[in-house]
């Protein structure tokens, strides 16, 4: 991994941080993308210390903001000539109904749309890698998901699980469509379910809600390091060289939901996502 440049989103916590530590241990240059400066600096120090690799950097970006993603990718392209591995790991499931900086339902806006746009903006750079890999951290929760095109923010019928499941189904539809669009290139795109992992997922920092549930479940859940296993495998193993358009669990390709294989739905989501981004961009310019 010595000459590889690896970008990990959601690197301040949980599986993202664990992924950075393990990949940095293998000698890669790791770019940790975080939204909060203080948490980012603390995580950066931990990753450098635990990996013994000084070649780890922090860059800031809120994936709930198209403007910030544009600024971030512009800066990234100025500094790096290629990107070998993009790990779209950041994710949110937050009790209560919240909006991104752009006014979208939080889970859809961050988990899907932010990563969709980030990936598209970085694609040219990934194609410059001899073996580019894109890894999307999805979830088994996608199985109960639907894409509610007519009410994407779920204003009419919001539940947290409906929102999260929609965003995670979108991660898988996006991965499969991306793999189809990348056919014939040197870039692969795969996604994964990490299993149940004791992280900061579902905890509301402001109110502390969710902390007790997480503490109670901790003994039954995987550690962040264990949960990160499949993402690390997809990023680093020669076993998966050239494998694309698959959904992995415990380092093995498995079947995702029937709906996730619907190519018409995937193409529709792609166009719909582009239209939302155009709308946000034109509103702001």
Ligand X SMILES: NC(=O)c1ccc[n+]([C@@H]2O[C@H](COP(=O)([O-])OP(=O)(O)OC[C@H]3O[C@@H](n4cnc5c(N)ncnc54)[C@H](OP(=O)(O)O)[C@@H]3O)[C@@H](O)[C@H]2O)c1
Q: With contacts defined by CB under 6 A, name the span among 11-19, 126-134, 206-214, 264-272 that binds ligand X.
A: 11-19
Backbone angles phi, psi at 103, to 5 degrees: 90, 10
| 82/98 with CB nearer ligand X | 98
SS3 assignment, position 284: helix
Q: By CB under 6 A, is residue 19 in contact with ligand X?
A: no
Q: Strands 247-249 and 252-254, how do they pair?
A: antiparallel
Indicate which single residue of 21, 90, 104, 113 sits in contact with ligand X (rule: CB under 6 A).
90
Could you give the CA distance from residue 276 to residue 75 in angstroms, rounded to a whole number? 23
Could you give the CA distance from residue 223 to residue 225 in angstroms, rounded to a whole number? 5
| 91/145 with CB nearer ligand X | 91
164 a catalytic residue:
yes
Q: By CB under 6 A, is residue 70 in contact with ligand X?
A: no
Q: With contacts defined by CB under 6 A, name the span among 50-58, 60-68, 177-185, 245-253 that binds ligand X.
A: 60-68
Indicate which single residue of 35, 133, 142, 246 sits in contact with ligand X (rule: CB under 6 A).
35
Q: By CB under 6 A, is residue 276 in contact with ligand X?
A: no
Indicate which single residue of 22, 62, 105, 177 sits in contact with ligand X (rule: CB under 6 A).
62
263-284 vs 160-181: helix axis angle to the nearest 10?
Answer: 100
Q: Strands 187-193 and 56-60, how do they pair?
A: unpaired
* Size (the chain), residues: 285
Indicate which single residue of 119, 188, 199, 273 sits in contact with ligand X (rule: CB under 6 A).
199
Q: By CB under 6 A, is residue 73 in contact with ligand X?
A: no
Find the DSSP H helices in the chain. 14-25, 37-51, 66-79, 106-107, 115-127, 160-181, 211-217, 224-227, 229-236, 263-284
Q: By CB under 6 A, is residue 194 in contact with ligand X?
A: yes
- By CB under 6 A, name the binding residues for ligand X: 9-10, 12-16, 35-36, 39, 62-64, 89-92, 110, 137, 139, 193-194, 196-197, 199-201, 224
What positions carry a catalytic annotation? 164
């Amino acid at each position: 991994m010595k000459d590889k440049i690896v970008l990990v989103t959601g690197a301040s916590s949980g599986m993202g941080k664990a992924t950075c530590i393990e990949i940095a241990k293998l000698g890669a240059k790791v770019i940790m993308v975080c939204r909060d400066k203080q948490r980012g600096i603390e995580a950066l120090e931990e990753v450098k210390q635990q990996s013994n690799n000084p070649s780890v950097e922090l860059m800031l970006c809120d994936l709930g903001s198209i403007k910030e993603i544009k600024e971030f990718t512009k800066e990234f392209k100025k500094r790096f000539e290629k990107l070998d591995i993009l790990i779209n790991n950041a994710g949110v499931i937050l009790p209560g109904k919240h909006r991104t900086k752009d006014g979208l339902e939080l889970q859809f806006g961050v988990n899907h749309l932010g990563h969709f746009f980030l990936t598209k903006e970085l694609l040219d750079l990934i194609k410059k890698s001899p073996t580019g890999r894109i890894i999307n951290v999805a979830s088994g929760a996608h199985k109960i998901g639907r894409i509610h095109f007519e009410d994407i923010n779920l204003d009419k019928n919001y539940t947290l699980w409906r929102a999260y499941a929609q965003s995670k189904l979108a991660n898988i539809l996006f991965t499969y469509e991306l793999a189809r669009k990348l056919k014939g290139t040197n870039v692969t795109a795969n996604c994964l379910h990490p299993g149940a992992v004791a992280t900061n997922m579902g905890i509301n920092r402001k109110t502390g809600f969710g902390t007790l549930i997480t503490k109670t479940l901790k003994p039954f859940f995987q550690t962040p390091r264990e949960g990160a296993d499949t993402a690390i495998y997809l990023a680093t193993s020669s076993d998966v060289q050239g494998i694309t358009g698959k959904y992995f669990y415990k380092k093995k390709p498995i079947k995702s939901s029937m709906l996730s294989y619907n190519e018409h739905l995937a193409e529709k989501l792609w166009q719909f996502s582009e239209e939302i981004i155009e709308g946000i961009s034109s509103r702001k310019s």
